[in-house]
Amino acid sequence: YSSLPQWLDRGLSQYIWTAVLKGNRLEFEPDSSEKERIREGRRLNKFKPVRDLFEMTGKDLWSGENALYLDAQIASVFRYVYGPGRANRKVANLVKDYIKLLLEVLVENEKAARAEVKKDGGAKSEEEEEEEFKKRRKQDWSAKEKEFLGQVFKKTFDGWSDGDWAALQAGWEKFAK
């Protein structure tokens, strides 16, 4: 697949991008443009519920007028779940668990896709099979991204209650003020 889920890709990249060395340690505070977009996004009611960010495709994020606000929200939510949000036991290992489960779903999907290539009889040699698989994976990604994110979401957040989501939402909103 051509990219990580948007919340992880953009969140992690913004988190690392703003790292600053202070004394003997790195600090990962938001930069001034992220802070401004968070303030403005809140004032203009441009944010999505945190829950929705975990299933947001690239098209969902970048195709609307709120893209820059949502990008800032994703960065802020990532900072929260990777920082102070970890005090909540449901969030404590969220990033690590999400990546682990994402890889599980990815492996399952790739096995199924390879089996389909073999079943279709499109490839003769191992090299041709690999080439056919790569071609299909690239063509299918935009159509299957939402389904893939839904699979990872279901595995990751199985057992989360409405109260767990409300606590994450409230925790992030307090953090982002």
pLDDT at site 122: 57
Give the residue among 171, 142, 148 at the shortest CA–CA distance from 54: 148
The predicted structure's pLDDT at residue 1: 45
Q: What is the pLDDT of residues 91-137, one digit of tens each?
A: 999 999 999 999 999 899 888 877 776 776 655 677 877 777 677 66
* 35 token code pair: 């802070």
pLDDT (tens digit, 9 = 90+) per residue, 139-165?
666 678 889 999 999 999 999 999 999
Residue 11 above 80 pLDDT?
A: yes
Q: What is the pLDDT of residue 131?
A: 76
Among the ranges given (28-32, 77-81, 152-156), the one the predictor scored with the smallest mean pLDDT: 28-32
- By C-alpha distance, which of 63, 61, 65 is closest to 8? 61
Average pLDDT over residues 161-170: 97
pLDDT at 64: 86
90 and 157 in contact (C-beta within 8 Å)?
Answer: no
User: 25 pairs with which residues across the strands?
Assistant: 22
pTM of the prediction?
0.85
| pLDDT tens track for 37-70 | 999 999 999 999 999 999 999 888 888 899 999 9
